[in-house]
Chains A and B, each alone.
Chain A
Amino acid sequence: MQRTDEAAYREYVTVRMEVLRRTAYLLCHNWHTADDLVGATLAKLYDKWRRAQQADNVDAYVRAMLVNVWLDERRRPWRREVSTEWLPDVADVAPPPPGENADLLALVRALPPKRRAVLVLRFYLDHSVEETAEMMGISTGTVKSQTARGLETLRAAISNVSGVQ
């Protein structure tokens, strides 16, 4: 990668780090794992930076990478075999307090992985049905059905929440 590309990569990563971490946390519900996922995604992004810049929507490209890294990680048991005496220097994080929001996270966590990803892309990152389908490599019909089933699950916790049709 050329130094000018590295500068653009650095700027993009710095600006988008927060939303990527929060998105990863919604997917996996663990900050250590979320940071691993984001780190893996950004490492891949470094390799594919030029291709990413040519995408119509760089954010969608990167978010698709993140979702796929997460789904891929779940399919590969060897990724969980890494064990060392070293522990990452990350502060412990208290779980969210009980209540509606905690219930929301618990319900999201209970969803099957792909359904969870669809809901996160659709309702946290505001991607359209078409964008979500393209990002996940599935049909728009599947996105709609996964969305409907996911929302059905969440409805109990979000009955008072705006923006859910």
Chain B
Amino acid sequence: MKTEFDAAIGVPPPSPIDVDRLIVRGRRRALLRRVVVAGAGGGVAAVAAGVAVAVQLGGGAAGRPAVVADKPSVAAASPSGATPKSEPAHPRSVLPTFDSTPTPAAQARATETRLTQALKDVVDAKAPGYTFAATEDGPAFKVKYLYHARTESNRGFDSYYGAANLAGPTGFGNLAINVGRTGPLWSHTGECRADQPECTWTTDPDGARVLRQVIRENGIVDNYVIVERPDGNTILIVAANQGGQLDTGSGRQADPVLTIDQLVAIAKDPRLYV
């Protein structure tokens, strides 16, 4: 019967699926959604897509000063009344004795709902004229709570993730964002490697530490930004020149759909917080 099926199918058209691009998108997805991984006593790992940025777990040796994790959260003063989830402060050189636990479901759902609307509003304000479409992860900017469970060697951590495909004045492309509380379980390495020429870390006048990076790989270009805000939120946001991991075609245009400056403006908007 297989023979008859094959005869019925006939000769397929050439495949538009580019394996190299699948791999590039897979690396990007790994960076955005699972970001990280450092051993409880080890350093930072998790370098995907050639980016020296990672979420750091468990206070390993990062080569960077400790992040004070119990800064007051903007959520505390938020009219939404959401209770912020905070981690105790401790220097990175001292391993915490607690394990991260998932945010209570009701609180996570409330934050998802708030961030879903906030993300649409902020992107519309900072990058007007774009329409939002669904991605492989769900409806446009439908924010999801992600808890990365503790494993034998890693402590758990959590963040909120949303994405959309944007179409507008500069073309088409995927925009993905990850919002989390800065702390020993969610921070960055704060370094650009020598093989990353389009990568800079700055401390802006408002006190935010900002990574601005362009990643070029196999025709796909990502504008990649991390903003560690003084209010205790760290936001990772990436714009591409095509439609996310499942878009296996080439870039729709030369540059990502949003500029680095637009991404920084979005990431600094106080409406995006946890």
Tally of chain B residues near chain A (CB < 8 A) = 38
Smallest CB–CB gap between B152 and chain A, Å?
A: 15
Smallest CB–CB gap between B251 and chain A, Å?
A: 11
How far apart sit A26 and B8, CA to CA, in the bound complex (Å)? 9
Interface-located stretch among B91-99, B134-142, B175-183, B184-192? B134-142
A152 at the interface (CB under 8 A from B): no
Smallest CB–CB gap between B19 and chain A, Å?
A: 5
List of A residues within 8 angstroms of B133 by Cβ? 81-84
How far apart sit A17 and B1, CA to CA, in the bound complex (Å)? 21
Contact with A along B1-12 (1 / 0, CB 8 A): 110111111101
Chain A residues 141 to 165 lying within 8 A of chain B, measured CB to CB, are 158, 161-164
| B246-A36 in contact (CB<8A) | yes
Chain B residues 117 to 163 lying within 8 A of chain A, measured CB to CB, are 133-136, 138-139
A58 at the interface (CB under 8 A from B): no
When the two chains form the complex, which single residue of B16, B138, B165 contacts A88, counting CB atoms closer than 8 Å?
B16
| B9-A163 in contact (CB<8A) | no
Given A1-B26, A13-B22, A164-B1, A39 contacting B246 (CB threshold 8 A): yes
Tally of chain A residues near chain B (CB < 8 A) = 50
A61 at the interface (CB under 8 A from B): no
Beta-carbon nearest neighbor of A81 in chain B: B134
B76 at the interface (CB under 8 A from A): no
| B138-A31 in contact (CB<8A) | no
Number of A-B contacts defined by CB within 8 Å: 117
**B-side binding surface: helix, strand, loop or mixed?**
mixed
| A82-B4 in contact (CB<8A) | no
How far apart sit A104 and B246, CA to CA, in the bound complex (Å)? 31
A114 at the interface (CB under 8 A from B): no
A43 at the interface (CB under 8 A from B): yes
List of A residues within 8 angstroms of B167 by Cβ? 84-85
A56 at the interface (CB under 8 A from B): no
How far apart sit A41 and B8, CA to CA, in the bound complex (Å)? 23
When the two chains form the complex, which single residue of A14, A17, A36, A47 contacts B26, counting CB atoms closer than 8 Å?
A47
B13 at the interface (CB under 8 A from A): yes
Smallest CB–CB gap between A28 and chain B, Å?
A: 12
Chain B residues 1 to 36 lying within 8 A of chain A, measured CB to CB, are 1-2, 4-10, 12-17, 19, 22-23, 25-27, 29-30
When the two chains form the complex, which single residue of A35, A40, A164 contacts B16, counting CB atoms closer than 8 Å?
A35
How far apart sit A75 and B63, CA to CA, in the bound complex (Å)? 48
A74 at the interface (CB under 8 A from B): no
List of A residues within 8 angstroms of B8 by Cβ? 96, 101-102, 104-105
B85 at the interface (CB under 8 A from A): no
List of A residues within 8 angstroms of B248 by Cβ? 39
| A91-B172 in contact (CB<8A) | no
How far apart sit A83 and B246, CA to CA, in the bound complex (Å)? 14
B209 at the interface (CB under 8 A from A): no
When the two chains form the complex, which single residue of B2, B17, B243 contacts A35, counting CB atoms closer than 8 Å?
B17
| A123-B172 in contact (CB<8A) | no
| B2-A124 in contact (CB<8A) | yes
B249 at the interface (CB under 8 A from A): yes
Smallest CB–CB gap between B236 and chain A, Å?
A: 18
Known pairs A42-B19, A47-B30, A104-B8; list 7 more (Cβ under 8 Å). A10-B19, A21-B17, A31-B13, A40-B246, A82-B134, A90-B13, A162-B1
Top-4 shortest CB links A-B: A46-B26, A101-B8, A123-B1, A163-B1
A sample of 14 inter-chain contacts (CB < 8 A) reads: A10-B23, A13-B22, A21-B12, A22-B9, A22-B12, A26-B5, A43-B245, A46-B22, A79-B134, A84-B243, A93-B12, A101-B4, A158-B1, A164-B1
Q: Which residues of B contact A (CB under 8 A)?
A: 1-2, 4-10, 12-17, 19, 22-23, 25-27, 29-30, 133-136, 138-139, 165, 167, 172, 243, 245-246, 248-249, 252
